[in-house]
Amino acid sequence: MSTGVLQAVVYSMRDFEVGGRYRSRSVGFDGTQRDGVVVTVGISVTRNEEALLLEDLYQSLHTHGYDPFRTKSRDLTLPPGEVIDVLKRCNGEIGIYYHTDGVNLGFAEPTHSAMLLQDLEAPPNDTVAIVDGADGYAKKLYRAADGMGLSPPPVAHCPQSELYFPHLLLADLAAGVIADKLNQNRTAFYGTTTSDPIQVLDDTTPSSYQGDWNKGYESVARQSGRTPEPPFIQRRADTVRERVACWFHGYFGTTNGPAPDSDSVTPVISRLQNLECREVATWLSSV
């Protein structure tokens, strides 16, 4: 192994192994509903960008009670501005769609997610899409994509994904903040100009009966379309250390099944330090 390749391995997070291929990028999705307003947020990051985001989340939110791999979004009371600030500092790409006429969240979120796969950097051969929940949520995303005529990257499902992946936690937090804002004022984002890292912030309500929105939504509602089942590794994690191990190795959570082979956080701390994520590495050393 050449010096350059060895250094890249030592300084990088481990790739996902999904669908028989190693993948260095993921797009994590989460959606929420507030009184008829549905918001879906997608965040596309490399594995190293996940680590950098984890450091930012820890630095920004630890004083509000956030502990990585332990705290769920519902257990946090955060100033909305702080969530948006973390979102804007994200090194990856972000897409946001919302709908304001009382559609079904279970159909709207996968439809938005499929649309975002077209907007964000998500090369099918190097990306995995991550959805929160059981396998039925992955099937819905496949159905939405099939209705639009898309060939999405493989989709992995992960119950309680916000406890395993920092970008899934941020997507959950951001969706809630944006939904609350829209619930107060449906026109809050009209005319908004996006800038990096936010690639899209758009209202799908005017497209209720046309275009990709309608095709995807109807496909999910009818339960039609292909639903592949690509292989990926799932492990049951009951402790912070086990969830850290899963995150580092690119494993996805499950409610049953084997635990990770090891819950050692030593290699994770080393990689985080190499990536200059020193504060969260120090915190992790005390877990």
Domains of the chain, by residue range, sit at 19-234
Judging by beta carbons within 10 Å of its beta carbon (0-12, 13-18, 19+), is residue 266 exposed, middle or buried? exposed
Dist. CA 54–CA 56, nearest whole Å:
5
> What stretches in the chain show pLDDT beneath 50?
1-9
Written as one string, the DSSP assignment of 106-167 is HHHHHHHHHHHHHHS---TTTEEEEEESSHHHHHHHHHHHHHTT--PPPEEEETTGGGT-HH
pLDDT at 6: 37
CATH class of the domain defined by 19-234: alpha beta
Judging by beta carbons within 10 Å of its beta carbon (0-12, 13-18, 19+), is residue 272 exposed, middle or buried? buried
Pairing of strands 234-235, 252-253: parallel
Dist. CA 123–CA 97, nearest whole Å:
20
pLDDT at 11: 62
Cα torsion 98, 42, 88, 193: sign = negative
Containing 274, the helix (H) or strand (E) segment is: helix 266-274
- Whole-angstrom CA distances from 103 to 42, 96, 194, 224, 270 are 19, 16, 25, 19, 46
Dump pLDDT digits (tens) for 195-227: 999 999 999 999 888 899 999 999 999 999 999
pLDDT at 10: 53
pLDDT at 284: 97
- Specify the amino acid at residue 71: T
pLDDT at 2: 43
For 242, phi then psi, to 5°, come to -70, -40
How many other CB atoms are there within 10 angstroms of residue 6's CB atom?
A: 10
pLDDT at 3: 42
**Angle at 26 (CA atoms; ends 192, 181), nearest 5 degrees:** 30
Contact 116, 27 (CB under 8 A): yes
